[in-house]
Amino acid sequence: MSQSASPLTPVRFDAEADAKLSALRRTKFLAAAALALCVLVFALAKSFEHIHAWLGFVAAFAEAATIGGLADWYAVVALFRRPLGLPIPHTAIIPENQNRIADNLGRFIEVNFLAPEPVREKLAEVDFSALVADWLADTERAAGLSRFIVRLVPQTLAAIEQSGLRGFVTSRMLEQIEKVPLAPLAAELLSALT
């Protein structure tokens, strides 16, 4: 009988994933400990407030920290799942709307970053010749690029020869040259010379 893993079971791929999972657990523990400490400080300050009046300020601070911590916890948890497993409305927002969020995010990126006009504006801001000139001003980079080109040219020419690209380009050029009306051009040239 095979058991399937729960969809919530973390899958470990490598040491980096283990380190991230460990850091997440540590962060969750610290957050829970801070919340528990705030509750404890609130309870103690409230208990001894009648002895020391200034503990009222400490109690108020601890109460605010506790409420803020609980509100943050609920807000974050409500985005990704149902808090305490209860079917509370307007929770598990991201899983329930994942496709809509992805579509809207994709549309936003397409319209604001990949549309021709924003891309054209960004490209107009870049001085490519200055960037290349600055990059090539470094003699080590220029020498490295030269060595790369010297190695690449023979390989490229061999690949063009082997792929039949040279024959294809030659035949297409000849077709286009044959379409050029030479008689009118020659007549025009002769009339210009005489």
* Token pair in block for residue 147: 């060595």
11 vs 164, residue with greater confidence: 164
Same domain for 77 and 112?
Answer: no
Is residue 169 a part of any domain in this protein? yes
Inform me whether the pLDDT recorded for 18 exceeds 50: yes
Question: pLDDT tens-digit profile of 124-155?
Answer: 999 999 999 999 999 999 999 999 999 999 98
Number of independent structural domains in the chain? 3
Residue 183, burial from CB neighbour count under 10 angstroms (0-12, 13-18, 19+): exposed
Global pTM value: 0.45
Same domain for 81 and 135?
Answer: no
Is residue 16 a part of any domain in this protein? no
Distances (CA, A) of 95 to 1, 100, 102, 166: 30, 10, 11, 54
Is residue 85 a part of any domain in this protein? yes
% of the chain surpassing 70 pLDDT: 93
Which residue bears the tokens 């995010």? Answer: 105
**The domain containing residue 120 runs over which residues?**
97-126
Question: pLDDT tens-digit profile of 66-111?
Answer: 999 999 988 888 888 888 888 888 888 888 899 999 999 999 998 8
Inform me whether the pLDDT recorded for 115 exceeds 70: yes
The listed range with the strongest mean pLDDT (45-59, 109-123, 151-165) is 45-59
Specify whether the CB–CB gap between 118 and 112 falls below 8 A: yes
Is residue 132 a part of any domain in this protein? yes
Inform me whether the pLDDT recorded for 10 exceeds 60: no
Specify whether the CB–CB gap between 48 and 55 falls below 8 A: yes
The confidence band for 43, taking pLDDT boundaries of 50, 70 and 90, is very high
Is residue 1 a part of any domain in this protein? no
Is residue 7 a part of any domain in this protein? no
